[in-house]
Amino acid sequence: MDLNGISVILPAHQEADRIGPCLRALRDQRLVPGVSHQIVVVANGCTDATAQLARDALPELTTAGWRVVVMETAVGNKIAALNMGDATATGGMRIYLDADVVVGPDMIVALHAALSGMGARYAGAKLTVPPARSLLSRAYARFWQRLPFVATGVTGAGLFAMNAEGRARWDQFPQIISDDGFARLNFAPGERSRVEIPYSWPITEGFFRLIRVRRRQDAGTAQLADLYPDLHRNASGDRPSMRGMLRIGLTDPAGFVVYAAVTVAVRLRRPSQGWDRGR
């Protein structure tokens, strides 16, 4: 393993409509001199053209300086895909990226700088949500992005990274709901940093899908607290206070109403067993 090398682990399930922009953003990155750069795409449970589109992007990515591996598995499971990607990765620094995320310019250089040095380190970036088609989703996203955990914190949603020493804290990802939450909680707040490079992360469209996603998010948080109580001490500041939400709500009442309605509905509707992207 090249401890200073960078491997991007990119699990992709039915992402034919989104993986192109994701890979083009990586193609256009400024790379770190003298460092190996690898992308591992794991198309899991895909019946669309996700894997083929990743292979089609290979020549341009290779010309840009990336070594690319495209893997396929019939199992549509993100955790299994993450573990397959990790087993193939050659770089000590790992960037875990959702296939519907588009990173901003100089993201790779900035993450490399944040992760360099002694000690275990974890890094995220500045999450931005592109305008949704649904007015409700747009209002929800506008309010959610202003919550301190998202506005100034290191969420890990759709993008998180760590150095080799940090990744050594666990072996394989466990079969849990929240892979990003598990990774983040393996690091104390003082070990996390945020680079102020934006990345685009789409919000779920529509009220009822927002409820399903939010319920799954809350279930993931509860599962981590139950299974990993020792890690849960690192969750300080993850949840907004009611006073803080009301303060933001005074400046965005429509966003507050939608966010609050989703929060209440999450507690009333039956859990969904499916998977939905976004927050």
Q: Model confidence over 247-256: pLDDT tens digits? A: 888 899 999 9
pLDDT, one tens digit per residue, over 44-75 is 999 999 999 999 999 999 999 999 999 999 99
Q: Does domain 2-134+148-204 have CATH number 3.90.550.10?
A: yes
Question: What pLDDT, on a 0 to 100 scale, did the predictor assign at position 89?
Answer: 98
Per DSSP, helices labelled H in the chain are 19-27, 50-56, 58-63, 78-88, 107-115, 135-144, 148-151, 164-167, 179-185, 207-227, 229-232, 242-251, 253-268
Rounded to an integer, what distance in angstroms lies between the CA atom of residue 35 and that of residue 56?
A: 24
With a cut of 70, say whether residue 276 has pLDDT above it.
no
* The residue type at 246: L
**Could you give the percent of the chain with pLDDT greater than 90?**
84
Question: What pLDDT, on a 0 to 100 scale, did the predictor assign at position 272?
Answer: 46
**Could you give the percent of the chain with pLDDT greater than 70?**
95
With a cut of 50, say whether residue 82 has pLDDT above it.
yes
Question: What pLDDT, on a 0 to 100 scale, did the predictor assign at position 235?
Answer: 85
Tokens (6 digits) for 45: 């449970």
Question: What pLDDT, on a 0 to 100 scale, did the predictor assign at position 78?
Answer: 97
Q: What is the mean pLDDT of the chain?
A: 92
Question: What pLDDT, on a 0 to 100 scale, did the predictor assign at position 63?
Answer: 98
Question: What pLDDT, on a 0 to 100 scale, did the predictor assign at position 269?
Answer: 57
Question: What pLDDT, on a 0 to 100 scale, did the predictor assign at position 207?
Answer: 93
With a cut of 60, say whether residue 270 has pLDDT above it.
no
Mean pLDDT of 196-208: 95
Helices H / strands E in the chain, number of each? 13, 8
